[in-house]
Amino acid sequence: MSKARASLTRTSLVHLALISYAIISVFPVFLTLINSMKDRNAIFRNPMQLPSPKTFDLVGYYTVLGQGDFATYFQNSFIVTVASIALVLLFGAMAAFALSEYRFRGNTLMGLYLAIGIMIPIRLGTVAILQGMVATGLVNTLTALVLVYTAQGIPLAVFILSEFMRTVSDDLKNAGRIDGLSEYAIFFRLVLPLVRPAMATVAVFTMIPIWNDLWFPLILAPSEATKTVTLGSQIFIGQFVTNWNAVLAALSLAIFPVLVLYLVFSRQLIRGITSGAVK
Amino acid sequence: MGSLQLKSVRKSFGNVDVIKGIDLDVKDGEFVIFVGPSGCGKSTLLRIIAGLEDATSGSITIDGTEVVTVPPAKRGIAMVFQSYALYPHLTVKDNMGLGLKQAGAPKDEIEKRVAKASAMLSLEKYLARRPAELSGGQRQRVAIGRAIVREPKLFLFDEPLSNLDAALRVNTRLEIARLHRDLKATMIYVTHDQVEAMTLADKIVVLDAGVIQQVGSPMELYNKPANLFVAGFIGSPGMNFIEASRLGITDAKTFGVRPEHIALSRDGGDWQAKAVHVEHLGADTIVYLESDKVGAFTVRLFGEHHYAPGDAVYATPSSGQTHRFDANGQAIR
């Protein structure tokens, strides 16, 4: 913001709003983290208190990590998330390129059809999806989850990426055509690098709901070998007794892989190599 | 090694006809410029020649070969774009060599041609840089170099100077003229700037509304415009058009005379007029006048002249340098 337009009150009001929103967003995470490191009594007696030497207890983490399956759960979550993101980005970007680059009959209609996926939640089709997975023998496989999440992520990916691809200079693509690049080479070598920030945005938006999802793992892949972290944590939540230490510890641990993925993608968000391409 | 024929080329987008039947013959080694106002179809026509757009109908032959169904890379053309369109992730050298690499040329051949082109454009120092590290003028030189390296039958330029500032534009214009002399290649160049057209072209094609208005050398267009559109488009300030009936001319609809072909005098002349506004440019003085007899018109005088708004003057069109147009806007000769 330029100095001339920035009044102190205005700036401080903006920052006040941003800070309070940040506190509201981070608070539950913070609460989970501090309570995961306290003993059971302290969690219930003083949930807001930071762990003190007296209440500090890593019993939750011992329980979670001691139960050997959790490594598998993490691995499953990670495989499903990464594979889904990869497929969403690949197919979403290809569809977006076709929609934004080529004039063909039914182009707009196809774009609208794909956009409908953003408005209708995929969970409405759970029963049909389950029937389909049973029929194809994919129940209790990670493939089932990857397929569902790819379908879930593609509409938004196409929507965002096709807008971005429209902004890629036509001259650049035409220069590639004159130099004899195939349409695939133009897509992978000229267009994709230029929309990388948009790809990172899509990756982040796609990743978080997948990582946090409980619904589809519960329905499509509840077997011990295919459980994801969110589903795996449920074993500590009983009908009568809940092992809060373990639940909070599992959730705290689940934050880290997704945080790492986020950092990877957000680095891409800021790195732009478009400058100098055109103009 | 680089002739081009267009025969009744048409292009429509849906119901809109953008190009309405173009016939054109470009001889080997000619520098042809398409000029016209925005939206006249000149860029579309260039893209059709390049193969980036499909013509709705008509035939295009390069060097005697029909190319309508040939992809751009195989037409033996090279194109320079207004926005440079350099590959941002490649170095200058790779930018220039990519076309040959795709065509499967041997490495030392690519090396040799890139070296030759970069020497012509004094780009040797920048070969290892990426486009982002170059200035606008250098980027456009790289784009031109990329075209030269391909040794095409036909060079296509799509408003290559429009993104450059005024000083660079003049330099690059001279550079393109020099290249044309050195390479003796056929060049087709699109611009809306008539100065570029007049200074560079062997042959100018004036387009309006998807139709060729006139084809000719710069001086032909200037001295013998075929119709009102060409007369008004070529020359700056534009030609003065006066209703012929006001001058007592009966066999024409419109009388035209260029601002530089009118003499001004305080003592006497054909048209009595009053100066409304005067622009002093040093080399030129442009006087805007208002007359009861012929209405508003413009006069361009060479050198400095001391006229001021409100001055009463007499204007005289120089004989032999006037134009007459019929009711359809066609020139009467």
pLDDT in tens, B199-229: 999 999 999 999 999 999 999 999 999 999 9
CA distance B72 to B57: 17
A171 contacts B83? CB cut-off 8 A? yes
Query: Rounded to whole angstroms, how far apart are CA atoms B279 and B74?
Result: 52
Helix axes of B107-120 and B92-103: crossing angle, nearest 10 degrees:
140
Q: What is the ipTM of this complex?
A: 0.83
- Residue B14's pLDDT band (boundaries 50, 70, 90)? confident
Structure confidence by residue, pLDDT tens digits, B286-323: 999 999 889 999 999 999 999 999 999 999 999 888 99
Taking CA atoms, A271 is separated from A199, A261, A274, in Å, by 12, 16, 9
Q: How many CA within 13 A on the CB side of residue A176?
A: 21
Count the helix, strand and coil residues of chain B and give each as a percent rounded to the nearest 5.
30, 35, 35
Average pLDDT value for residue range B58-76? 91
Asked whether residue A269 carries a pLDDT value surpassing 70, the answer given is: no
Residues from chain A that touch B52, judged by Cβ atoms under 8 A, are 174, 177-178
On average, the pLDDT of chain B sits at 91
CATH code of residue A207: 1.10.3720.10
Query: Do residue A104 and residue A238 come from a single domain?
Result: yes
Packed helices A196-212 and A244-270: angle between N→C axes, nearest 10 degrees: 170
Whether residues A197 and A141 share a domain: the answer is yes
Tell me, what DSSP letter sits at residue A188?
I
Contact by Cβ (8 Å): A191, A175 = no
Give residue A271's pLDDT band: very low, low, confident or very high (50, 70, 90).
Answer: low
Q: For residues B120 and B111, what is the distance between their CA atoms, to the nearest angstrom?
A: 14
Domain count within chain A: 2
The vertex-B120 CA angle with B117 and B122, nearest 5°, equals: 100
pTM for this structure? 0.79
pLDDT score recorded for residue A229: 87
Q: Do A276 and B130 touch (CB under 8 A)?
A: yes
pLDDT tens per residue, range B175-195? 899 999 988 999 999 998 888
Q: Is the domain of A47 the same as that of A158?
A: no
- Per-residue pLDDT, A167: 87
Six token digits for residue A15: 């920052």
Angle at A128 between CA A112 and CA A138, to 5 degrees: 110
What are A44-95's pLDDT values in tens digits? 888 888 888 888 888 888 888 887 688 888 899 999 999 999 999 999 999 9
Q: Which chain A residues contact residue B133 at CB under 8 A?
A: 276
Same domain? B219 vs B292: no
- Residue B286 structure tokens: 């442009």
Kindly determine whether residue B132 and residue A171, on different chains, have CB atoms separated by under 8 Å. Answer: no
Residues in chain A: 279
Instruction: Tell me: do A50 and A74 sit in the same domain.
Output: no
Query: Does some domain include residue A62?
Result: no
**What's the CA angle centered on A208, arms A77 and A87, to 5 degrees?**
70
Residues in chain B within 8 Å Cβ distance of A190? 87
In a domain, A279, yes or no: no
Nearest CA in chain A to B136: A279
Q: Which residue has the higher pLDDT, B89 or B278?
A: B278
Calculate how close chain A gets to B38, using CA atoms only, in Å: 18
The answer to the question of residue A36 being in a domain is yes
Indicate if B208 and B248 belong to the same structural domain.
Answer: no
Residue A273 has pLDDT above 70, yes or no: no
User: What confidence score (pLDDT) does residue A278 get?
Assistant: 43
What are the pLDDT digits (tens) for B77-92? 999 998 889 998 889 9
Q: Quick check: B98 and A179 CB within 8 A? A: yes
* Other Cβ atoms closer than 10 A to B324: 16
Q: Which residues of A touch B86 (CB under 8 A)?
A: 172, 175, 276-278
Q: From the candidates B12, B74, B75, B79, which should be mutated to test the interface with A, based on the most A CB atoms within 10 A?
A: B79
Question: Could A178 and B131 be called an inter-chain contact, meaning their C-beta atoms sit closer than 8 Å?
Answer: no
Please identify which residue in the block is written with the tokens 């041609």: B113
State percent of chain B over pLDDT 70. Answer: 100
**B202, B230, B258: which is the final residue of a domain?**
B230
Is residue A23 in a domain? yes
Q: What pLDDT does residue A2 have? A: 54
Residue ranges making up the domain that contains A228: 70-270
Q: For A134-142, which contacts have Cβ atoms below 8 Å and span 24 or more sequence positions?
A: A138/A220, A139/A220, A139/A221, A140/A220, A140/A221, A140/A222, A140/A223, A140/A225, A140/A226, A141/A221, A141/A226, A142/A76, A142/A79, A142/A80, A142/A83, A142/A221, A142/A226
Residue A11 lies in a domain: yes
Please check whether residue A132 lies inside any domain of the structure: yes
Identify whether residues B169 and B71 lie together within a single domain. yes
With CA atoms as reference, report the closest residue to A193 among A213, A215, A176: A176
Give the range of the structural domain holding residue B261, as residue numbers without chain letter. Answer: 239-332
**% of chain B beyond a pLDDT of 90:** 70
Over the stretch A131-190, which tens digit does the pLDDT of each residue have? 999 999 999 999 999 999 999 999 999 998 998 898 888 899 999 999 999 999 999 988
Nearest to A146 by CA among A212, A215, A82: A82
Do B99 and B46 share a structural domain? yes
DSSP B241-300: EEEGGGGT--S-SEEEE-GGGEEEESS--SEEEEEEEEEE-SSEEEEEEEETTTEEEEEE
Yes or no, beta carbons of B72 and A178 under 8 Å apart: yes
Across the interface, whether the CB atoms of B88 and A180 are under 8 A apart is answered no
Which chain A residues are closer than 8 Å to B51 by Cβ? 177
Same domain for B129 and B244, yes or no, is no
Last residue of a domain, one of B171, B196, B230: B230
- The answer to whether residues A93 and A77 touch, using CB atoms and an 8 Å cutoff, is no
Question: Do A16 and A108 lie in a common domain?
Answer: no
Buried b (16+ CB within 10 A) or exposed e, B29-60: ebbbbbbbeeebbbbbbbbbbbbbbebeebeb
End-to-end CA distance of chain A: 25
Q: Mark whether B126 and B75 lie in a shared domain.
A: yes
CB-based burial, B215-248: b 16+ in 10 Å, e otherwise:
bbebebbbeebbbbbbbebbbeeebbbbebeebe
